[in-house]
A and B are shown apart, each in its own frame.
Chain A
Amino acid sequence: MSPLALRELLSNLRLWLAAGPLLALTAALTTITFSMRSLNQALAEDEVGLMDQYDATLLALVLLAGLAATTVSVYQVAQRTRRRVANLAIAGLTPSGASTRFSHQVMGVAAVAAAVGICVGWATAPVAMRFIAWASSGHAGLEGRTDAHAILGSFVITLGLALIGATQGASQARSVEPIEALKDRPFQPRKGSRRRLWLAGAGGAGAALTAVLTAVLPGLESLRYRPLEAANITATCAGTTTALLAIFFWAAAPAYCPLLIRAWTVFLPRHRLPALSLGRSGAAFQARRSLEAFNLILVGALLAGSTLSIYFARSALDTAGRGWVAARDVSGVVLAGVPVLVVLTGSVLTVVVTARSRVDEARVLRLSGATGRQVLLAGFTEAFILAVTATLVAMIGVAIVGLTTGIGLAQVATAPDWPATLGFDPVAWMAPLGVMVAGMALVTAVALPTLARGLRQPLF
């Protein structure tokens, strides 16, 4: 790496801010999740296969959350650094050079973030184990095991996630034209091309993930644990369905998100309060900003709800006769929060990165005569609309996952009277609502101070 490239990497604050913490968090959570496999050592031999599979499914969900958050963050950083790339392009940087330079920057950030994340994971895994042991009262001997596999796996996974994000971001960097350096506002990709890019990226990621989930994991596990083969495959199918649903809703969001927002917000009394109308317009027409927040909240709500849905289906299985241990229940709940944590962190970082556009917007609104209260209310309305819309979509996804899980488990069950609606538990339904409230609170908590800062700044 040349000195110029290194200086550029160190000075790209947006990239460090957006991608760094997310990748570090993903690495830490992956280390912890891997380490939780040591839980199995303390459990009965005949349950190990199912539990390995359960861990694998949850790990896949964590990775999906990390993938979504990281890809969105890196992509948006690439879009926001177009001017910087254009300045280099006008000095003679080729498109492939710009693309390579951006990829190297992302991977540099990822390497540092992975190292940090693994250190954090190493330190916190034993704490998580002790918590589970304490909560399950009876497995005091459990210990976190952060072995070489966990470290290597976390490093490879983090770099892999960064590579997917970097590939999308690099395509953005490649498309920058030198003329953009001379424009007041850089050229924006047309809506169609943006949608195609999202669909292609999400489709590729989905296909890869599906291949891993459906082929590798059940194959390995069923070879080792023959008696539980059917249940393993069912559990994996449920996880795969969740992943596919998340990817589908995520990829298709540019097409349906603005329409959905415009449809249900018709009922808001926006003609009485101009700030509601401004918030609605912000949510429906600030396409890029909205989609970033929408997707992150959506994936978080969907994953949390679906994970809990699978978890409750398993609990129903347990109630019906198959033995489960308390440690499994607690670890299930702990792991259900993991995707939420990744995604909510992503939401906050997204909003932080979009702070500039919000400050500009506050300034323009003030120039139009809006009061400070109207600007803040518009910001809150926008966050509310995005969170509610994402949650509505996520609840549909949770319902589908609950149904597929229930049907799957009922089919493999030995007792014919198990209900097909095993996954429909009120708590699973509450999870997206909880994520909605948390997401809205976080978006509001970050957006409102930003808007308030915009209000304090001079108009010119």
Chain B
Amino acid sequence: MSKSNYSVIGKRVGNVDGVEKVTGGAKYTVDMVLPNMLHGKILRSPHPHARILNIDTRRAEQLPGVKIVLTAKDTLGRKNGIWRNFRDLCDEEILCREKVRYVGDAVAALAATDLETAEKALDLIDVEYELLPAAFDPLDALHDGMPHIHEDFERNMNVYRQIEWGDVEEAFSQCDHIREDTFYCSSQAHGCLEPHCALASFSHDGKLTVWTSTQSAYYTQLLLSDMTGLREGDIKVIKPHVGGGFGSKLSLDSAQYCAALLSMKLTRPVKIVLTRAEEFGATKRRTAIHYKVKLGAMKDGTLVARKVQAITEGGAYTAMGGTALYLTGFFSSFPYKFDHYQYDGFRVYTNNETASACRGFGAPQANFVSESQIDMMAEDLGIDPIELRIKNAITPNHEIPGQATIRSCELRQCLEAIDKWIKERGPLPPNHGIGVSAYGFMSGGIFNWIDTPYAFSSALVKINVDGKVDLFIGANEIGQGSNTTLSMICAEELGVRLEDITLHTGDTSVCPVDLGAWGSRQTLMSGNAVKMAALEAKKQLLEVAFHTLKPNVVYDLDIKDRRVHLAERPRRGISYFDVVKDAIRGKEGQAIIGRGHYTPHGKGMISPAYSFGVQAVEVKVDRQTGKVELKKIVTAHECGQVINPIGLEGQVEGASVMAAGWALTEELKSRNGKILNGDFRDYKMLLAEDVPEMILIEVDSYEPEGPYGAKEAGEGLTVPGAGAIANAVYNAVGVRITQMPLSAEKILQALEEKKRTQKEVDPFEAVA
């Protein structure tokens, strides 16, 4: 079907949650209050590694207003983790029993009548610790004789993953040119504006209701069931509006678990909201990674083989770090065709805050490394970096042995579009440089880490007598616009208007299961489920319409803009509303119900589809200070059929800025396990003043696996930024920064170093 035939999708519609969000009416978990509600607080370890000898809660319990203080002895003693069928990787008790493993590990939780009393009571809990030696650097932590952070993991080796195809050793021996480089990618805070928070209410009939800021209400329900021993069906998780996730609100967090436990003991509602300091220091963060990369090429620019070794700084627990470890390995080959590829990834425990999922999930790190090295290789070979990329770019229907089948891919067109833009930009002013980076990203993960027998996404459509459509989805809107996108898909498929759809979402007791918002999965996976549910409902309407319209058997019926008509002869038709009424009468008064589901099958190990793109960033480097100023960010990308254009652009822009912040100013610094910049004053996220002009070039593509041909958009744009900026800095002033972040100090130092070592005339200086 050609694009112009769509009546809802592809249109610039306002977000369906818009009015609530701009009037202050949208309720987030932090805004929720229940009658008789208590306030909870969590006592956290001040030490990076220590044995808990004794916890004396008596003084805290005696403080008027304090209702209860809980420690590990009040729990079932279970350990939590997302890979539920790998029990040894479920390693986080949340309330620590024997040891604390990072500054911020939880040791006690309490509830009081007001927040001030709860805060005061924290100081009255006496914990006796035996301090243990700690390990902060993953390279140190592996050494013999370093402290064991988890008893079962010798020398702190947490997870090892390998990926390979072809034969790299053999291939390198055939290459004309080989580069070996090392890189470091720094960590990043998620920086959600709404902190982690939960309001739990356990009733006398044994049912637990939890309102919480989560990326997956279903995961929260399942993991709470594991940890509390309640049946899944006795736990209702309600997800109100969520103030951002970015990967941080996917595992079970301390606010959710402790609020639930406290409420279960007291049979009263308990609310816990993490402070900003807890947000920075006691949740999760992006994985910092050390890389060694060997790249082999032929003189003509053909990339032959790449060998990647990554050592990731895991922090105190596994969380979803194993997946980041795997994905950084997979995406280190992207977006090129390598006949020979080998990856070894080592995840190491340290006594720092846990590194886990963070928007891009290992791919941004892989891309910074890979795309920096591609430019270095292009320079070695004397080939234009875009030409080199075009020569090796993944093309449609590309098979990555044992890993992935890539169907749609318009990377070449994206590269050509960026090439054209750079040429049109013409000569740059002094100290300006443009860097490019090509990337690909997944449309949802094929990881059943949670080990569920349910479909990955499901949806239910109910058509009522007035023609209004109730759409029930388990998908999680967290700001990315999925409520709008999925409503649009439902309206398009049913042939009604967007305002005909009433969305029901964010309540596990009402909505069918969906794995939630991670890995850019909802447009494709939840979208397919919604489309299928709408189609099933629509077919029931068409059966009735056939009786009325009695078309020749060769004609099909369709519904468009509330009119049921002959697909081939649109003028012959009847009102959707009349058909709905007839259909309901024909079903003995039952509403029309359609069910839909989606689980990827036969799509490899990673994802059912991949999106591709290229970003060019123009920077200006101040030679006196080393400061990088962003001048322009130009993105050419392809994401299949665009469903929700405003949402798509917003995702692309927001992700690009998050990536630029990671590259330049955001580094979560710590010393001896203590976060040094755990507030928004010292942790520098980019401001409106820092953001440059953004240009978006949409390249057409069609993904057969996605709804209407749609695939991922948004998260993928956290991927290319750092590499493009590093390349731009090099092209501006001739210094190659391989250790993130690209801070002013580091660039200045590199400029000075370059001046010292280079006696001959610096060609970049000469141009400037």
Do A and B associate with each other?
no
Q: What is the interface of chain B, defined by CB distance below 8 A to chain A?
A: none
Q: What is the interface of chain A, defined by CB distance below 8 A to chain B?
A: none
